[in-house]
Amino acid sequence: MSLLAIGVSHRSAPLPVLERVALTDAAARDLAARALAGDHVDEALVLATCNRVEVYADVSAFHGGLSDLGHALAEATGVSLEELKDHLYVHYADRAVAHLFTVACGLDSMAVGESQVLGQLRLALRSAQESGDAGRVLDHLVQQALRVGKRAHAETGIDRAGASLVGAALQRAERVLGPVTERSVLVVGAGSMSALAATTVHRAGAARITVANRTAANAARLAGAVGGTAVPLAELPAALAEADLVISCTGAVGHVLEQSVAAAAAAAHGGPQLYVDLALPRDVDPAVADLEGVQVVGLEQLGADLAAASLADDLDQVRELVAVEVGEYLAGRRVQAVAPTVVALRARAAEVVQAELARLDQRLPGVEEAVREEVQRTVHRVVEKLLHAPTVRVKELASRTDGGSYAAALRELFDLDPQEVAAVSDVPVERVAQ
């Protein structure tokens, strides 16, 4: 396995750049296809969220794979590689595994500790599996990352530490508007983040919740779940005029809430309003913030709010868990890498045994069947005992960072043909005799 990860996120790029590289589901699939069209990429998976676009790939060469992924990212986003290069980060081999596990735990999120990224990673894997873009390497890796993420939330305090972006938005709203129990809330959009927003304000006891969405059925479904009212986007201006708090997160390209519409709503509302923009690209026209009595809060401000929280102890727990899991995963991969050598060695031994038994049959054709079977069992037992110690030991040594040299020594000592080893390279670890 040669894992390569390349990406851009809120940690490496300003919001305007993230807006330009944001991908729809279809664009993410196109990016994976472009990556696989490269000469050095065997598998590819794209993780595209509101604050990151990352490509994970199994590559045959580092520099060639990096070139393939970089050009694919530039072509899929429409942002030149020259513009992207100052904002891209690259992780290879061990560091790529550690980065993915860190992302899955929510440690690298804008809202540190949020669990939504687990669902996004699961969907990314499903898409890559259905398209055939992810094979055994990425499938196993991402499955492990999902398991590590679940462990982090189940076994550490990261859930307590990691307030969601919506939670941070609600805290900001209470500072600006007062108790949410006295406020009317408008949620624009009906996707996963909008559902989280609606659920959060519902639990907080919002006086009134309205959901506006392009698809009426989705708006009605979400509104019904939180005891709210659904309205079509055509009625958005009237809904804005009645809302104290507006939370918007759609997948639209371009502004959903223009300044002119917000200005009319503010005039009709007559009181302070807060717009929370959780979308990328942004739903709310930045010019809305210039309106009197209206405040706009976006991902950057909410990220700063969350970063100010004291998370040290809880995050240290998760970092330790990730370090242990990365070590175990890499050790397992090293053991799996030596498995073909062990299988080839046992296959060579089996060939020698069969050849010698055939030679015995030729030299002593009159040997009774019972005697022959006992001789065969004896020879097999001798071979098994002789091979047991070196095969078990080489697997133990292979788990170390320098384990590959022991497999090479075994191949040299027993004169194993590289083609024999390559022929069994797809044999899983569990098939190797203990």
Catalytic positions: 50
d(Cα 329, Cα 1) in Å, to the nearest integer?
A: 12
Position 400: which residue type? R
Whose CA is closest to 385, among 422, 315, 433, 347?
433
Residue 344, both tokens:
């080839």
Cα distances (angstroms) measured from residue 275 to each of 283, 344, 411: 10, 65, 66
The answer to whether 216 touches 232, Cβ cutoff 8 Å, is yes
Please tell me the total number of residues recorded for the chain in this structure: 434
Continuous H helices in 78-215: 81-84, 94-104, 116-131, 136-155, 158-161, 165-177, 192-203
The Cβ-side half-sphere exposure at 173, using a 13 Å CA radius, reads 30
276/105 Cα distance (integer angstroms): 25
- Report the C-alpha gap between 248 and 265 in whole angstroms: 15
C-alpha distances (whole Å) from 283 to each of 128, 183, 363 are 28, 22, 87
- For residue 193, give the 3-state DSSP assignment: helix
Alpha carbon distance 87, 329 (integer Å): 29
User: With contact defined as beta carbons under 8 Å apart, do 249 and 275 qualify?
Assistant: no
Angle formed at CA 312 by CA 173 and CA 166, multiple of 5 degrees: 25
Give me the amino acid identity at 389. A
